[in-house]
Chains A and B, each alone.
Chain A
């Protein structure tokens, strides 16, 4: 076993344990913090893949913005500290079947896809390649622009939702 395999197992298992704790701990804030931990684990796996841009974006977006928003939302809701109700609902078996199906199909897909392998050695400045392919008409400019427009629509929509209504109540 090489060093990178050991590190991968370490980070991957830490991610999985944290992800398991997200759904099982009763304290909502702790769940949000475990979510942050599991996202950090994913970021470290990106680091191991030499995808430094993805790793930092993972931290900036998911920990810096989304996780903090989640923590905010959780803190502002009532009865946050402890949930005493049962953790299972009656239809848990249905969810279990769905989850197993999804897991099996996803792993089958991963298994059967012929993944392109990177050429040996240094591939160059990955950030540069990523940036150029995002604005290259022959590559990903259309999906990139669609995503941008979608995000702007979401932004404007959230402002519209948050605006106080003009009519007196």
Chain B
């Protein structure tokens, strides 16, 4: 019988479960398949239930930002509002529009949720508790996320509605273009850790990568907010232009599943940020009690999600041309510069430097990039202002 370690309770339970199964007389491969199935089932349900909490948190906190109370009727502090909403969504009439491509229409939201849940397979909760620690973890998370784009395309097209199709075009244009700075920003921690495996990246962060690569962290946060399509990048939904975007024809729980995918994706992005830039499960006493890692990981994730909320409720939404300008003229060049500078600086630091001074040098290099960027931005904006006033003068003289 495997020993039960309280510090690593969940993994011990997993081992115990496997031991029990093999005691019944199952052969080892069947045991491991059953163990993994049960673990995947629990993880998936954790993922699917988390949005209940994050949606409540989001409504409550954004209400506070806007000097309102937010949900406060169902349960203590309105905590059970999510359940009430689910009941409402389930009891609503389920309409499939005439002329819709029924199969594609129905599997669209399923693929959207599946693509987000798939990312959680590589996210390490503790040093021992990780779905699967593949050596291409970061790339995998990007790859699986990319399937979500396809789901939006399918949903928008299958609805047989012009607004839905336009909405999904917009969405895909936004998602595909913001993937570029996101992937480049993820390359920087990969470079610093020397691995694409999520767990190795966390282990390499004696000093969090947000110190050594603040620009990459910021770029990742901005581009991933755009990637999940939340304010200020919520162009996918524009009541005055394209109604509700790609999910305009979805009703009842199918609509609920799209919402679930969106909120879960936002939460997943926060978890990824916490793992890649904020040291994931790292924290005091985590070596003795690995289970504490879950707590640190969740605290960091919720911290990032609060930052996202803060951005969401304070920054005005951008226009479509501003969105493209921001991406192609600002984020992509900046991310390329940051990548090259980080690679060169990291390589030129002598090997015998401590991890602290190494991070400090990288931080200073990043700050230099920030100053240079600000100078460039000032020059560009002055030039534009000059052109603007020249134009104005011309108009006045006529």
Residues in chain A within 8 A of chain B (CB atoms):
3, 27, 29-30, 33, 36, 52-53, 56-57, 59-60, 63-65, 67-68, 71-72, 75, 125-127
Residue B176 at the chain A interface, CB threshold 8 Å: yes
B135 proximity list for chain A (CB < 8 A)? 52-53, 125-127
Contact of A56 with B147 in the complex, beta carbons under 8 Å: no
Contact of A57 with B139 in the complex, beta carbons under 8 Å: yes
B136 proximity list for chain A (CB < 8 A)? 52-53, 56, 127
Report the bound CA distance from A63 to B143 in whole Å: 8
Contact of B144 with A59 in the complex, beta carbons under 8 Å: yes
Quick one: which of B104, B144, B172 contacts A29, CB cutoff 8 A?
A: B104
Are A68 and B154 CB-contacts (below 8 A) given A33-B104, A60-B143? no
**Chain A binding site: helix, strand, loop or mixed by DSSP?**
helix
Contact of B150 with A52 in the complex, beta carbons under 8 Å: no
Closest-by-CB residue of B relative to A75 is: B157
Report the bound CA distance from A36 to B154 in whole Å: 12
Quick one: which of A68, A75, A126 contacts B150, CB cutoff 8 A?
A: A68
How many Å from the CB of B170 to the closest CB on chain A? Answer: 12
Q: Knowing that A64-B142, A67-B150 touch, tell me 9 more A-B residue pairs with CB under 8 angstroms.
A: A52-B135, A56-B139, A64-B143, A64-B146, A65-B146, A68-B176, A71-B150, A71-B153, A127-B135
Quick one: which of B29, B139, B150, B153 contacts A60, CB cutoff 8 A?
A: B139
> Can you pick out 5 interface pairs between chain A and chain B where the beta carbons lie within 8 Å of each other?
A52-B140, A53-B135, A64-B143, A64-B149, A68-B149
B 154-193 to A, binary, CB cutoff 8 A, 1 in contact else 0: 1001000000010001001000100100000000000000
Residue B134 at the chain A interface, CB threshold 8 Å: yes
B140 proximity list for chain A (CB < 8 A)? 52, 56
B147 proximity list for chain A (CB < 8 A)? 59, 63-64
How many Å from the CB of A44 to the closest CB on chain B? Answer: 13
Closest-by-CB residue of A relative to B175 is: A68
**Chain B binding site: helix, strand, loop or mixed by DSSP?**
helix
Contact of B104 with A63 in the complex, beta carbons under 8 Å: no
**B interface residue count range (under 10 / 10 to 19 / 20 to 34 / 35 or more):** 20 to 34
Are A65 and B104 CB-contacts (below 8 A) given A52-B134, A71-B153, A126-B135? no
A72 proximity list for chain B (CB < 8 A)? 153, 169, 172
A59 proximity list for chain B (CB < 8 A)? 143-144, 146-147
Closest-by-CB residue of A relative to B154 is: A33
Report the bound CA distance from A33 to B172 in whole Å: 16
How many Å from the CB of B388 to the closest CB on chain A? Answer: 23
B104 proximity list for chain A (CB < 8 A)? 29-30, 33
Residue B216 at the chain A interface, CB threshold 8 Å: no
A30 proximity list for chain B (CB < 8 A)? 104
Contact of A127 with B196 in the complex, beta carbons under 8 Å: yes
B29 proximity list for chain A (CB < 8 A)? 3
Report the bound CA distance from A59 to B101 in whole Å: 25
A75 proximity list for chain B (CB < 8 A)? 153, 157, 165, 169
B142 proximity list for chain A (CB < 8 A)? 56, 60, 64
Contact of B150 with A63 in the complex, beta carbons under 8 Å: yes
A125 proximity list for chain B (CB < 8 A)? 135
Closest-by-CB residue of B relative to A60 is: B143
B 86-118 to A, binary, CB cutoff 8 A, 1 in contact else 0: 000000000000000100100000000000000
How many Å from the CB of A163 to the closest CB on chain B? Answer: 15
Contact of A68 with B153 in the complex, beta carbons under 8 Å: yes
Report the bound CA distance from A125 to B196 in whole Å: 11
Pick from A56, A59, A75 the residue with the most CB of B within 10 Å: A56
B 118-151 to A, binary, CB cutoff 8 A, 1 in contact else 0: 0000000000000000111001101110110110
Report the bound CA distance from A79 to B248 in whole Å: 23
